[in-house]
Amino acid sequence: MSIRTYHPRRGRLSGRHHDALDRLFAAYATTVAELPAPLDLPAVFGRTAPVVLEIGFGMGDATAEMAAADPDRDYLAVEVHTPGIAHLLALIEQRELTNVRVAVGDALDLARRCLPEQSLDAVHAYFPDPWPKARHHKRRLIQPAHVALLRSRLRRGGRLHCATDWAPYAEVMLATLTADPELVNTHDGYAPRPAYRPQTKFERRGVRAGRPAYDLVFERSFDTADG
């Protein structure tokens, strides 16, 4: 049995969120368990385009903003938090986004079971649970085996972009990503926040509380045995 890297959260659903789930789920979302293996990404989005895997999108505001500004790529957004899923579905309709689909469940299960190797243009893992207690570190998303899995789903030159506001986790992230044999850091250490990653309310609250965000932007190397 795999160890969860996320902590399921309960949240109250507003009437708007209930409405979004009722009307929009079938059109834009599915559960990871229901997805076929392998997943035909062009069939999911109705076109052939580069795909970004967005892991743990929270309330979905940043995902919607990035997708709206990046219409030439498709966003496969994975989350387990029901209010956030409902909110992103509402944003998809409100902003008339055609390049976002939602998967409900474990992103690692999705990557492992459904996504072919070299099928992704980018992977975003923004503010994953830091699991600060030592006994919970095994639940962290960014650890060698998980990184190797996610990296294998990236095309050559594709990007793995992580962000956290938990300084000890940032250090571990940097060491783990640097140690991967097929990932190359695009900066000397941490990266400045790229313009394409919106600063969320959650992040701004952290900055005000003295917790700056750390971005890590790595690319899958072209310098491999299989070219």
Q: Is 215 a catalytic residue?
A: no
Q: Using the structure block, give the residue that is written with the tokens 């980018």.
A: 122
Integer Cα distance of 33 and 110 in angstroms: 8
Query: Over the range 15-52, which residues count as b (16 or more CB within 10 Å of their CB) and which as e?
Result: eebeebbeebbeebbeebeebeeebebeebbeeeeebb
Q: DSSP string covering 103-132, please?
A: EES-HHHHHHHTPPTT-EEEEEEES-----
Q: Find the catalytic residue in 74, 106, 129, 165.
A: 129
Nearest to 142 by CA among 127, 158, 121: 127
Nearest to 7 by CA among 101, 122, 141: 141
Q: Is 102 helix (H, G, I), strand (E, B) or coil?
A: strand
Half-sphere exposure of 170 (CA within 13 A, CB side): 17
Catalytic residue annotation = 129
